[in-house]
Structure 1
Amino acid sequence: MPIGTLFLGAIGKDVELLQQALFEKKFYAGLIDGSFGATTEQAVIAFQRSAELKPDGVAGPVTLRALGLLGDDAAADPVTRLSVDLVSQMCVGAPLQNIREHLPNIQRSLIARGLQAPSTVLMAIATIHVESGQFKPVPEGVSQFNTVLPNGPHFAKYDNRKDLGNLGPDDGQQFRGRGFVQLTGRANYQRFGSLLTPPFKLEDAPERALESAIAADLLSLYLKANSSRIKAVLTSDAMAPMDKLAALRRIVNGGLHGFDAFAKSWATGAGLMGLSLADSLKAAALQPA
């Protein structure tokens, strides 16, 4: 598998390869130990400056390619190309530290489930941008859509939602939206908890949907579960690109809340991947479930 984006805190064989490449180019004099610490980060920055690259200390696709660690075939993999810099441009306003912390889990989860096509990757990142705003798993906030304002019980509008599998008071609060994709409702916590690896009763510990690795898996599982609906949108000859984006947004949101930000994020990411908006929405871009 191609080397993915590496940054402070990363460990493993890929970090060893990075350190060896930096050592051979005389930018690194530390131990080849597979631990991306401050010394490795400074070596990456020094190399980036010498190569006239953005000196952010993150060994993304451009830096790895300049070091001879990433070939052109790997560059075509959209998941591998999800650098901190690319995602930060898709998710304007998200703190870089959040992207650095959570992006590896998202990449791992997408790869594990075969969701590496450009359309799937763009949908994942654009969804995170709209649903969280900060590129981190977040709990749903109180709003007119879930609570009778100004003083009603929080999330009471969800309590008796049969379509969410809720059974009555306090289910709305307990199973409110959480994560990158805002998993909502008792039924969804039951269903997707059973699909995790290993499976467990997420409805018994719903707050765990805010853990980075679990939130990433819930996002990819949701996309996987809806792959036939996504494919139906992408295969439609009657829909213009913006109509397709609207339909894709409805698959996650049920409506068009945040659509402008979703569409802008998608279009930005497509451009950074060297794709036109139309090409990024081609049916052939989606791998079969």
Structure 2
Amino acid sequence: MELSQLRALIAVLDSGSVLHASKALKVSRGTLYARMTALEENLGLKLLVSTNQGVIATDYGRQFAAEARALLATADAMARAARRQRDELLGELYIRASVGLPPQLLMVLMRQIGKRHPELAVRFEITRDPAADLPADTDLVLHFAPAVPAGPFRTFVLSRFPEHLIASTEYLDAHGRPQTLEQLREHQLMSWCPPGEDGSCLPLLGGGSFPITPDLVSDQVYVLHCLAAAGHGIALLPDSQPMRHLIPGTPREVVLPDLVGRRSSLWALIPEAQADTPRSQAAARLIREVCSGVFSLHVEQIPEG
């Protein structure tokens, strides 16, 4: 029994005609008849019968056709999975990304991917920790955090962002500009909490941290930027000119720039098990090209270990 014989059966049943089925499969009627005859002889049962309404299935033919459809669906899925490993970019690109990436940034990335590969479907999944519990068909992970997550990944930095205390000029004019860490306690504080953190400490440039009790903790960088721009307090969050361009608002200032801060990164992670396949290498090239254009920054590979 061959898959081509099963496809012949399904094509005849779906069209109700050997002529239409042969055209759909792009084979001659003689070839189609030969496949159907071989299938019925192999089974020792009649699958089809001709009527005034066209070719229909026998009782057993209907049962067999249902099982054939399921088998063909499985075979097609296996073939697609093999092509995903063999081909560069085909079908659907599955990207998991961190919660909190500005939606404008995601829109720009999607638009640029579409321009380069208009035939490519993109499945974008936003999650708190995109590198955790990774589905087997994941092509790429975009992880936004101060540190790269542990795991069997091929890792690239797409962009680096300084992390600062940010407030609007209007807020600071109204409430004063803190000069010490202790003076921060007199202000409305908001804190970004990337995966693995709870937002209760400020990272210090000299090392260590300073404990705070923030009024708002969120993993949504975009929301925190909007609140800071609107004058709702001082926020610890990733900051850069591209980020501010994507999130317009009133003028903002860095608070205690000589005391508080660190660097966060947008990481691209490719599962190590498939990192050397043509498809994964093409996905890595694509996301690096897109992000290099968006951020106008050099993209570097981080050595393992």
Q: TM-score range by the shorter chain?
A: under 0.3
Structure number with the bigger relative contact order (C-alpha 8 A, sep ≥ 6) is 2
Q: Which of these two proteins has the greater Rg computed from alpha carbons?
A: 2
Q: Provide TM-score, normalisation by structure 2.
A: 0.25
Q: Provide TM-score, normalisation by structure 1.
A: 0.26
